[in-house]
Amino acid sequence: MRTTRTFPAISPNAAGVTGPLLDSEAVLREGVAALAALDPVMARLAAEGAAPVLRKRPPGFAGLAGIVVGQQISTASAAAIWGRLTARLPDLTPEALAAAPDDPLREAGLSAPKIRTLRAAAAAILDGTLPLDTLHALPADEAHRLMVAVHGIGPWTADVYLLFCLGHPDAFPAGDLALQEAARLADGLETRPSAAALTRRADAWRPWRGVAAKVLWASYRVAKARDGAPLSP
DSSP string for 112-127:
HHHHHHHHHHHHHHHH
Count how many Cα atoms sit within 13 Å of the Cα of residue 149 in the half-sphere of its side chain. 14
**Between the CA of residue 211 and those of 32, 69, 82, 174, what are the distances in Å?**
7, 25, 28, 13
List the Cα angle 54/56/58 in 5-degree steps.
165
Between CA 136 and CA 19 the distance in angstroms is: 11
pLDDT on residue 20: 87
pLDDT on residue 231: 44
pLDDT on residue 174: 96
Between CA 139 and CA 160 the distance in angstroms is: 15
Residues of the chain with pLDDT under 70: 1-19, 226-233
